[in-house]
Amino acid sequence: MHRNLALHAPPKCSYYPRLTCQFMQLMKMTFNVTPLHDVVLPPLSSKVLKYLVLSQQVLPFLEELVRSKDKQKPLFISNLALDGKRLYSRGEPITVKAKTRLTGSVTFPFSKEAFNVGGGRVKTVYGEYEISLKEVSVLDETPSTSTRGNLRVSFLTPALLCSKIYLPPFLREKYRRKKIGFSLIPTPGLVVAYGYRQYLALLGKTDSYENDIKTFKLLVMANALSRVVGYRLYPETVVIGEDEKGRLRLTRGVKGWIEFDIVGKLKESAAKYLEVASFLGIGRSRGIGLGEVHFKMVERGENSH
């Protein structure tokens, strides 16, 4: 489960429950980020926080992890948000007025060094900002308090979910070079399976045929034992940069939300994997803030937003 920590006093390490040696505890640090002058943000505003980490102005101990090319690494840097809405370009420039308070978060493995985080004025190639710590959340392996109701997953930024995960592992190599694109109408099994991939990464288990088999079985079972009760899903195109000729590079993912129920014990496991996804995102391009999701249990019949 995850919990928020009060910021009026530095949290003590002993506050956190003891974990099994295999599970990697996660911290999500949310910052207030306020431009000191009018700014034009990069197409993916996550690059502002990423720049601050790489330049060692914020969370300097994460520089090596950010630069790492490892797959499914336990790191997520969100796009900046204004009034809860993530800022990324769909083709138009992103302009923000001076003194407008934005927020953004960085999720990473638990570290005592994080308690020494400071604030103040910082400089980036995207302008000058005032930065301060807003909130700290922690994810541990304590079971969720309840799995009553339905599971609802909201896609806060376009999620790039590759349909090839539907293939059994022994067929994936055959179709590895085929360009399929991303699923714009994800099933419960697809969403849960991607959450499971991130959960495996926390256990230090990434690429292996055995884990691919487990992921495929989970996908099939979650689809077979689930019932979709509501959704509002739509495709969205996002600018991810420019090519060598200065042309915009675009990708297309799914936004919106899906609500579903799963019968049996699989529901508790699915909720655990989706909690991890709420911290680390799902799908391709998590490293640039895409695939950010929010998961929660909702009472049956609760209005969806």
Coil, strand, or helix at residue 142? coil
Q: What is the pLDDT of residue 12?
A: 32
Provide the token pair at 17.
């429950």
Contact criterion met (CB below 8 Å) for 275 and 146: no
Domains of the chain: 2-139 (2.40.30.310), 150-298 (3.30.70.1900)
Q: What is the pLDDT of residue 202?
A: 83
Q: What is the pLDDT of residue 234?
A: 96
Q: Residue 110 burial (CB < 10 Å; 0-12/13-18/19+)?
A: middle
- Residue 299 has phi, psi (to 5 degrees) of -70, 145
Q: What is the pLDDT of residue 69?
A: 84
The region, left, alpha or beta by phi > 0 then psi within -120 to 50, assigned to residue 176 is: alpha
Distance CA 165, CA 182 (A): 10
CA 100 to chain centre: 24
- Residue 15 has phi, psi (to 5 degrees) of -65, -30
Q: What is the pLDDT of residue 47?
A: 96
Q: How many CA atoms within 13 Å lie on the side-chain side of 273?
A: 24
- DSSP of 143-198: PPS---SEEEEEEEEEEB-BGGGGS-HHHHTTTTT----B-SS--HHHHHHHHHHH
pLDDT tens digits in sequence order for the chain, 305 residues long: 555 544 433 333 322 233 333 457 899 999 999 999 999 999 999 999 999 999 999 999 999 999 988 878 899 999 999 999 999 999 899 999 999 999 999 999 988 888 877 779 999 999 999 999 999 999 876 656 567 899 999 999 999 999 888 888 888 778 777 777 789 999 999 999 999 999 988 887 767 888 889 999 999 999 999 999 999 999 999 998 888 877 889 999 999 999 999 998 999 999 999 999 999 999 998 989 999 999 999 987 665 55
